[in-house]
Amino acid sequence: MSHTPVLIVGAGPTGLMMACELARYGISFRIIDKKPERTLTSNAAGIQTRTLEILNHIGVGNTFIRNGLVCKSLNIYLDNLAPLKISFEHLDSLYRYILMLPQAETERIFISRLEEYHHHVERPLELTSIFKLAGDGYEATLKHPDGNIEKMTCDWIIGCDGAHSTLRDRCNMKFAGEDLQEQFMVADAVMDSFLPNNELHVFNSKGRALAVFPIGKNNYRLAANLHLEYQRQFFTEKEVKELVIDRGRKEFNVQSISWISPFWIHSKLVHQFRYDRIFLAGDAAHIHSPVGAQGMNTGIQDAYNLAWKLALVINKQAAPTLLDSYQAERYPIVKAIVKDTEKLTRFIISENVFFIWARNMIVRFLQNRKSFLNKIAMKMTQLSIDYQNSPIIDYHTINRQSPKPGMRTPDVQIQNGKHLFDYLQNPKHNILLFSGQNPSNHIMTDLQEIQKWITENYASLTCSFIVINDPAQISNTTIYDSDLLIHKKFNIQHPGIYIIRPDSYIGACNATIDKKIISQYFDKIKSG
């Protein structure tokens, strides 16, 4: 009977992200999927800005961008009002756009990355049962396509097997929530458009919505609610063309339709993302409305959050209780997304006269409120996500204007086209030791001494860099902040410390250079 430390069930974007991350951390695993081949349709096509930062951090960002289509804004057309433009060009990120890329391509890129690590997806291979072993771990039964049954053991199981998760069912984990009665339709179309091809467009009139998202030259993803009196499984190309003409303000000329599929919206969430040594991620743990293109991105971030913690536990660098922080950090985020997308969907498709009036009033209010629109863009692109009540984060702050623990680390473009994140592309914690704007020789001596101490005590867990604007001090353990752009972004004038987690969220910070801050943080990580 074979054994693997981790069994990943499901090879959609969430499972593939989990596999790529475990491979990056050097953890052995198997990833299986009962489908005979990867997704070949467009499905989840929007990659949010925060996800692009993550993909860049793990080394595949440029590949995604080369294959995708950059969209710089979202335009909302309500009844006869002027369009409401939500621009992404002012986002607090180096990626000031949403990337449109069919899910087929997303999975292809992830699989290619996995192959670079000498791993592959085993398919079609179906998990049929699991059995808890007397000690730690599980025995899993796998069904091969020829009917042969394989039994194997594993220490941990990650369920990324979608909304109809077999693993979730085997664990009797309740998938609570509601279903919207309204039927929807999604399609891929080749169209001529009078509107910009690098922007997203949503039309809504009296509760009848149409979303038009470019995914390539003259190629578009369409989505619409249908207001049918009865459910239907099939739609004709002619019906889709008529729907676009009726709702799209005559801005499009549909040439052909390549794929049409009905769908229904479910808002469901498990209350526990962890069951013993089993974890759920992505659609296996939560499903919700596609409004705002949050689903796939949320699943990818689930995997990004869990992988580094599991790697530390498997490598015996942290106690298993560290993994409790997966629930503590991700559940509140996902719960809010499920709730918000359901409310927004009901608001959009409602035919209630009061709701229609309210929608129009909100759009009129937002038309010239750039600060509000920027906040909406930050939330939509998931840049505003932060972990507010984590047991493993030290919430002491430097000052009100500095990035706070629990927030994503801001990237900064520095000299010679380099970015701060270029230094952080490693599978460890990164400790930034800020010199301050005018460091004395005494401060530099202290910084170098503490950096040596970090190496001696935490080399397996960390990389450390002195952030300084003195070109004479440049080395492979410093970051040359020539114009103090990093200092300014972090709002630091005097020496200070930032501890950046492997998932590029801030774990701790302090306005003093103190070994105690570092040791306390890693004591918390090690103890969970």
What pLDDT, on the 0 to 100 scale, is given for residue 407? 96
Sheet holding 478-480, edge to edge: 478-480, 462-468, 429-434, 496-500, 506-510
Band of pLDDT at residue 82, cut at 50, 70 and 90: confident
Q: Is the pLDDT of residue 503 over 90?
A: yes
Whether the full predicted model's pTM is greater than 0.75, yes or no, is yes
pLDDT digits (tens, 9 = 90+) for 158-215: 999 998 999 999 988 999 888 777 788 889 999 998 898 899 999 988 888 899 999 9
Which pLDDT does position 138 carry in this prediction? Answer: 93
pLDDT at 158: 98
Task: Provide the token pair at 4.
Answer: 């693997």
pLDDT at residue 227 above 80?
no
Give me the pLDDT at residue 134, please.
Answer: 80
**What one-letter code names the amino acid at 249?**
R
Q: Give tens-digit pLDDT for 431-482.
A: 999 998 888 888 888 899 999 999 999 999 999 999 998 877 778 889 998 8
Which pLDDT belongs to residue 438?
Answer: 82
Q: Is 495 within 8 Å of 443 (Cβ atoms)?
A: yes
Angle, vertex CA 120, rays to CA 118 and CA 125, nearest 5: 155
Q: Are 37 and 123 in contact (CB under 8 A)?
A: yes
Instruction: Return mean pLDDT, the chain.
Output: 91
**What DSSP state is assigned to residue 206?**
T
The amino acid that residue 443 corresponds to is I
In the predicted structure, residue 506 carries a pLDDT above the cut 80: yes
* Distance, CA of 346 to chain centre: 24
pLDDT, mean of residues 401-417: 90
Tell me how far apart the alpha carbons of residues 120 and 526 are, in angstroms, rounded to a whole number: 31
CA 98 from centre of chain: 13
Q: What is the pLDDT of residue 46?
A: 93
- The pLDDT assigned to 176 comes to 85
The 46-47 sheet, strands edge to edge: 46-47, 98-100, 69-71
The per-residue pLDDT for 41 is 81
Residue 291's SS3 state is coil
H or E element that contains 497: strand 496-500
Q: What's the pLDDT score for residue 417?
A: 78
- CA angle 52–500–312, rounded 5-degree value: 95
The backbone torsions φ and ψ at residue 469, rounded to the nearest 5 degrees and listed phi first, read: -105, 20
Pairing state between β 69-71 and 29-32? unpaired
Given a cut of 80, is residue 486 above it in pLDDT? yes
Give the whole-angstrom CA distance, residue 86 versus residue 359.
Answer: 15
Q: Residue 7 — pLDDT band, cuts 50, 70, 90?
A: very high
Under 8 Å between Cβ of 311 and 244: no
Q: Exposed (0-12), middle (13-18) or buried (19+): which is 476, by Cβ within 10 Å?
A: exposed
Q: Please check the confidence at residue 375 and state whether its pLDDT lies above 80.
A: yes
Dump strand ranges (E) for 22-175.
Answer: 29-32, 46-47, 69-71, 73-78, 84-87, 98-100, 121-122, 126-132, 138-143, 149-159
Region 387-398 average pLDDT? 93
Structure tokens at 347: 């608001």
Distance CA 445, CA 442 (A): 5
In whole angstroms, give the CA distance from residue 110 to residue 228.
38
**More confident of the two residues 94 and 303:** 303
* CA pseudo-torsion sign 145, 147, 148, 150: positive
- How many angstroms separate the CA atoms of 439 and 67, rounded? 45
Q: What is the pLDDT of residue 20?
A: 98
Distance between CA 425 and CA 60 in Å, rounded?
Answer: 11
Residue 391 pLDDT grade (very low, low, confident, very high; cuts 50, 70, 90): very high
Integer Cα distance of 18 and 24 in angstroms: 10
Distance CA(506)–CA(429), nearest Å, equals 10
C-alpha dihedral, 146 to 151 to 154 to 160, nearest 10° = 40
Residue 315 banded pLDDT, cuts 50, 70, 90: very high
Cα 411 from Cα 421, distance rounded (Å): 6
pLDDT per residue as tens digits for the range 105-140: 999 999 999 999 999 999 999 999 998 888 889 999
CA–CA separation, 98 vs 198, rounded Å?
10
**CA 142: distance to chain centroid?**
29
